Every structure is written in C-alpha cells, then in structure tokens.
Amino acid sequence: MVNWKDILISPSLPIVNAIELIDTTALQIALVVDKNNRLVGTVTDGDIRRGILRNISLEEPVQRIMNPRPTFAKVHDSREIITAIMKLKKLQHIPVVDDDGCIINLESWTDIFQSYNYDNWVVLMAGGQGSRLRPLTEECPKPMLKVGTKPILETILGNFIAYGFHRFYISVNYKAEMIESYFGDGSNWGVEIRYIHEEQAMGTAGSLSLLPEKASKSIVVMNGDLLTKVNFQQLLDFHREHQAQGTMCVREYDFQVPYGVAKMEKHHITRIDEKPMQRFFVNAGIYVLEPEVLELIPKDTSFDMPDLFNKLIQYNCETAGFPIREYWIDIGRMTDFERANGEFTKMFSPGDD
C-alpha cells in the first residue's frame, strides 16, 4: 500500500523523476508541496502528456507542468462532500488539507469504490494479411505470430485484462479460423470475446460499422499488431478529461534532414539550417471513440482511422492526441518482429501475464 507521504515532491524536481514516481506507485499522482508541506500543485499523467505535446523537456522542473490550482478538500469536509466533489469534477484523487493548506491525507476513488472494472468494449483489429512479414504470415495471421512466449494478440489481450477490461470484439478476416479457434469465447481468460467478420479488407476503421450492437460507453480500438505498455486507465482518463469524441494515441517521431535546409522568401535565402531535426507526432494505432462517432463510418467499404478523425475535425468535434511515452512497437516488418522478440522478456516479464 502506497502512503500519500511517498508522493510529496518539490516544485524543482525534474519532470523525468516525477514520471518515475507516478509510474512506480499505485496512486498515479504526485503532490507538489513547498518546504512547509503546503500544497502548491499536483502532477498527473495527463499533465505530463500535455507537457510533452507542448515540447517541454523532461529535464525541466515539475512546476512547468503542474496544475497550480488543484481541487482539494478541507480537513472538516465529510466523506459525502468529498465524494460529491470527486464525482462533480471527475477526479480520481483529491488532496485533503488542514486550515494552513498543509496536506494531511489523499482520498482515492479506488479506495472509496473498490478496484476498476471497465465495461467498455475493446475492439482489436486482427484482419490484416501481414504481407510485409511473408513468409511468416503465409500459414499464420500476423496477430498470431509468437513474440516471446505467446501470440502478439494474446499479449495485447492480457494487457487489457490487467487493467480491468473484460469485453472484447476481435475483427477478423485473413485466416480468421485460427484466431477464433485459439481464443474462442474468451472463457479461458475469464473474459467475453465476440468476433467481427470482415468479408473484405475494410481498413483500420471500416469493420467498426459491422458491430452488431450500439455501445453505451467509450470504445477502445487497437491494431492487433502492436506491443505496448500504454496505461489504458490513463488513456481513458485523458479522453474523458478532454471530453473528446475521439482520442488518438500518438507517438513522437524525429528524423534529421541530411542536408542544409534553405529558408526562402521569394528568391531570397534568409537562413540556412544545417541538418535540422524534424519532430512530428504520428498515429500509434490505438484509439478511444464515443459510440455516436461510429455513425460517421460508411457501410460495406474500406475506411481508415485517419479518415474518421478528419471527419470529426471537419464537423468541429472534440479530438485529442494522447502522447505515448511508454514502450511501443508496431510489428510491421521483419526487423520489427526480430526487435520485438529481442525485447519481449525485458518488457513483458512473466509477472505481466
């Protein structure tokens, strides 16, 4: 059991150290205090990811990214009042302070309402042919290729189960019978698994139009050829916090231009940047969608997730980018497959099963 006193940090602590603290404790929050133990801010995973999107270095102090006006409860507030505040503000934690503003406790939603158990549907996209991984995929669909000790798709399933998800759809096409035979109805894993059958290749979003029922909660969608240590609880929290219709996980991608780049104004060269570094956020193949978003997906045709997000943007719907800072690899090529096998034991230990 983590004591709230273990997550008190100074405003000058580097962000990278705050990340380590948040990732290694069950509370998923750090409380920023002054030298007199007075609350001056809070730092959550969401604050860190927003800082990454603003290009703030992880070596900078946490005061650059902390919430300087956190919601808190007073020592005299009843449990009913604290619970009401947490529900109203959709908070997972709330610090409790005395009359001088010094922290005396941290109330946690999980302490009040027990552990997480998500009823959200998770849709795993496993219908692709994996042509770039031939000859490995000539007799086996890519999500069933073994990385480490088990198929890629089983590792993905296990990660979701570890976070409390228990309702799954698997979208299948190429060699679908192998996937259905292996996972069945999910009872061997203590979960519910259903299948979406693509009669043709439908892209990274098209098969969502085949869901036989309308979801009542946010839907998590993930490509079936990824291995990642993303915290899915934090992903859902981020989606809800930003009241997004669609959230896309994004991955930072850097590359260096191997030439001097000329900055031009008409025919004038105004500056030469020698081998500049370019930085982008790229689609990481994991999404959270509100149920009504699925109505924008056309029936019986191939349709990709970028097309869906472009539609959301076109209609001025709220979209969010969730930057992945955890381990992530897209197993699209043979070099990726070999790398994933080399890293599997370190990243996915038996304790993660």
Domain ranges of the chain: 4-113, 118-352
Q: Are 193 and 182 in contact (CB under 8 A)?
A: no
Query: Is the per-residue pLDDT at 350 higher than 60?
Result: no
Query: Is the per-residue pLDDT at 280 higher than 90?
Result: no
Q: Are 70 and 41 in contact (CB under 8 A)?
A: yes
pLDDT digits (tens, 9 = 90+) for 192-215: 999 999 888 888 899 999 998 888
Q: Are 70 and 39 in contact (CB under 8 A)?
A: yes
Confidence of residue 3 (pLDDT cuts 50, 70, 90): confident
Which of 190, 208, 209, 228 shows the shortest CA–CA distance to 125?
A: 208
Could you count the other beta carbons within 10 Å of the beta carbon of residue 309?
23
What whole-number distance in Å separates Cα of residue 45 and Cα of residue 29?
A: 7
pTM for the complete prediction? 0.72
Considering the domain delimited by 118-352, tell me its CATH architecture.
Alpha-Beta Complex (3.90)
Active site residues: 275
Query: Is the per-residue pLDDT at 351 higher than 80?
Result: no
Indicate the range of 26-30, 145-149, 309-313 predicted with least confidence: 26-30
What whole-number distance in Å separates Cα of residue 337 and Cα of residue 334?
A: 5
Give one word for 6, left, alpha or beta, with left for phi > 0 and alpha for psi -120 to 50.
alpha
So what's the pLDDT on residue 353? 44
Q: Look over the chain and give the mean of its residue pLDDT values, rounded to a whole number.
A: 87
What whole-number distance in Å separates Cα of residue 29 and Cα of residue 21?
A: 8
Could you count the other beta carbons within 10 Å of the beta carbon of residue 92?
18
Angle at CA of residue 19, ends 113 and 231, nearest 5°: 50
Residue whose entry in the numeric block shows the structure tokens 């979801």 = 215
331 contacts: CB under 8 Å, gap ≥ 6: 133, 142, 145, 147, 152, 225, 226, 227, 337, 340
Backbone phi, psi, residue 124, to 5°: -105, 120
Written as six digits, the tokens of 113 are 């309402």
Could you count the other beta carbons within 10 Å of the beta carbon of residue 332?
17
Overall CATH class of domain 4-113: alpha beta
The gap from C-alpha 16 to its chain's centroid, in whole angstroms, comes to 19
- Residue 277, class by beta-carbon neighbours within 10 Å (0-12 exposed, 13-18 middle, 19+ buried)? exposed
So what's the pLDDT on residue 33? 93
Which of 252, 253, 218 shows the shortest CA–CA distance to 235?
A: 218
Q: How many Cα atoms sit within 13 Å of 251 on the Cβ side? A: 15
So what's the pLDDT on residue 91? 81
So what's the pLDDT on residue 99? 85
So what's the pLDDT on residue 324? 92
pLDDT digits (tens, 9 = 90+) for 99-124: 889 998 888 776 655 456 788 999 99
